[in-house]
Amino acid sequence: MDIAYKLLLVLHFIGLAGLLGGLLAQIPNKPKKLQPFVLHSAWLILIVGIAMVGLNRAMNANDATVEILDHVPVSIKSTVIAVVLVLGYLNVKKPILSTKIWGVMTVLAVANIVVAVFL
Protein backbone atom coordinates (compact mmCIF):
# COMPACT_ATOMS: atom_id res chain seq x y z
CA MET A 1 0.00 0.00 0.00
CA ASP A 2 2.96 2.28 0.52
CA ILE A 3 3.76 2.18 -3.20
CA ALA A 4 0.17 3.02 -4.08
CA TYR A 5 0.24 5.97 -1.68
CA LYS A 6 3.48 7.27 -3.20
CA LEU A 7 2.06 6.92 -6.72
CA LEU A 8 -0.99 8.92 -5.64
CA LEU A 9 1.32 11.54 -4.16
CA VAL A 10 3.14 11.82 -7.49
CA LEU A 11 -0.22 12.28 -9.26
CA HIS A 12 -1.15 14.91 -6.69
CA PHE A 13 2.07 16.81 -7.46
CA ILE A 14 1.43 16.52 -11.21
CA GLY A 15 -2.02 18.00 -10.70
CA LEU A 16 -0.55 20.82 -8.65
CA ALA A 17 2.04 21.52 -11.34
CA GLY A 18 -0.68 21.61 -14.00
CA LEU A 19 -2.89 23.94 -11.96
CA LEU A 20 -0.24 26.42 -10.92
CA GLY A 21 1.72 26.15 -14.16
CA GLY A 22 -1.37 26.72 -16.27
CA LEU A 23 -2.27 29.80 -14.27
CA LEU A 24 1.25 31.23 -14.17
CA ALA A 25 1.67 30.67 -17.91
CA GLN A 26 -1.00 33.34 -18.41
CA ILE A 27 1.11 36.08 -16.81
CA PRO A 28 2.35 37.61 -20.09
CA ASN A 29 -0.92 37.06 -21.97
CA LYS A 30 -3.23 39.98 -22.59
CA PRO A 31 -6.10 39.09 -22.46
CA LYS A 32 -5.85 36.07 -20.20
CA LYS A 33 -7.72 32.86 -21.05
CA LEU A 34 -8.41 29.92 -18.78
CA GLN A 35 -7.16 26.70 -20.32
CA PRO A 36 -9.32 23.60 -19.72
CA PHE A 37 -6.34 21.59 -18.46
CA VAL A 38 -6.21 23.90 -15.43
CA LEU A 39 -9.61 22.56 -14.39
CA HIS A 40 -8.55 19.00 -15.16
CA SER A 41 -5.54 19.51 -12.91
CA ALA A 42 -7.76 20.86 -10.11
CA TRP A 43 -10.00 17.78 -10.41
CA LEU A 44 -6.90 15.57 -10.31
CA ILE A 45 -5.75 17.29 -7.11
CA LEU A 46 -9.17 16.87 -5.47
CA ILE A 47 -9.80 13.25 -6.44
CA VAL A 48 -6.28 12.03 -5.70
CA GLY A 49 -6.25 13.95 -2.40
CA ILE A 50 -9.43 12.19 -1.30
CA ALA A 51 -7.94 8.84 -2.32
CA MET A 52 -4.77 9.63 -0.37
CA VAL A 53 -6.74 10.41 2.79
CA GLY A 54 -8.65 7.12 2.47
CA LEU A 55 -5.52 5.13 1.77
CA ASN A 56 -3.69 6.77 4.67
CA ARG A 57 -6.57 5.85 6.95
CA ALA A 58 -6.56 2.25 5.70
CA MET A 59 -2.78 1.89 6.02
CA ASN A 60 -2.64 3.17 9.59
CA ALA A 61 -5.94 1.97 11.04
CA ASN A 62 -4.41 -0.62 13.38
CA ASP A 63 -1.05 1.02 14.04
CA ALA A 64 -1.10 2.91 17.33
CA THR A 65 2.43 4.27 16.75
CA VAL A 66 1.33 6.37 13.77
CA GLU A 67 -0.21 9.76 14.45
CA ILE A 68 -3.78 10.09 13.20
CA LEU A 69 -4.18 12.28 10.12
CA ASP A 70 -5.22 15.85 10.95
CA HIS A 71 -8.34 16.58 8.91
CA VAL A 72 -8.21 20.37 9.32
CA PRO A 73 -5.61 20.92 6.57
CA VAL A 74 -7.41 18.37 4.39
CA SER A 75 -10.66 20.29 4.82
CA ILE A 76 -9.01 23.63 4.07
CA LYS A 77 -7.26 22.26 0.99
CA SER A 78 -10.47 20.62 -0.27
CA THR A 79 -12.41 23.85 0.19
CA VAL A 80 -9.73 25.89 -1.60
CA ILE A 81 -9.70 23.50 -4.57
CA ALA A 82 -13.51 23.53 -4.66
CA VAL A 83 -13.44 27.34 -4.86
CA VAL A 84 -10.86 27.16 -7.66
CA LEU A 85 -13.10 24.71 -9.53
CA VAL A 86 -16.18 26.91 -9.10
CA LEU A 87 -14.33 30.00 -10.30
CA GLY A 88 -12.88 28.02 -13.16
CA TYR A 89 -16.17 26.60 -14.37
CA LEU A 90 -17.81 30.02 -14.15
CA ASN A 91 -15.11 31.43 -16.44
CA VAL A 92 -13.87 28.62 -18.68
CA LYS A 93 -16.27 29.36 -21.55
CA LYS A 94 -15.61 33.08 -21.49
CA PRO A 95 -13.23 34.37 -24.16
CA ILE A 96 -11.41 36.54 -21.61
CA LEU A 97 -10.46 35.68 -18.04
CA SER A 98 -10.49 38.80 -15.88
CA THR A 99 -7.24 39.61 -14.16
CA LYS A 100 -8.99 39.63 -10.77
CA ILE A 101 -10.36 36.10 -11.19
CA TRP A 102 -7.01 34.90 -12.50
CA GLY A 103 -5.28 36.48 -9.49
CA VAL A 104 -7.70 34.94 -7.01
CA MET A 105 -7.27 31.50 -8.58
CA THR A 106 -3.48 31.85 -8.54
CA VAL A 107 -3.41 33.02 -4.91
CA LEU A 108 -5.70 30.12 -3.93
CA ALA A 109 -3.40 27.63 -5.69
CA VAL A 110 -0.39 29.02 -3.82
CA ALA A 111 -2.40 29.07 -0.58
CA ASN A 112 -3.10 25.37 -1.09
CA ILE A 113 0.64 24.71 -1.17
CA VAL A 114 1.20 26.85 1.92
CA VAL A 115 -1.48 24.92 3.84
CA ALA A 116 0.06 21.61 2.78
CA VAL A 117 3.52 22.63 3.93
CA PHE A 118 2.78 24.52 7.14
CA LEU A 119 -0.33 22.87 8.60
Is the dihedral angle over the CA atoms 41, 45, 86, 28 positive or is it negative?
negative
Q: Which of 99, 106, 111, 44 is nearest to 73 (CA)?
A: 111
pTM of structure? 0.91
Distance CA 88, CA 93 (A): 9
- At 74-85, the pLDDT tens digits run 999 999 999 999
- At 12-61, the pLDDT tens digits run 999 999 999 999 999 999 999 999 999 999 999 999 999 999 998 888 77
User: Is the confidence at residue 68, as pLDDT, over 80?
Assistant: no
pLDDT of residue 94: 92
pLDDT of residue 12: 96
Percent of the chain's residues with pLDDT above 90: 83
DSSP 2-34: HHHHHHHHHHHHHHHHHHHHHHHTTTT-SSB--
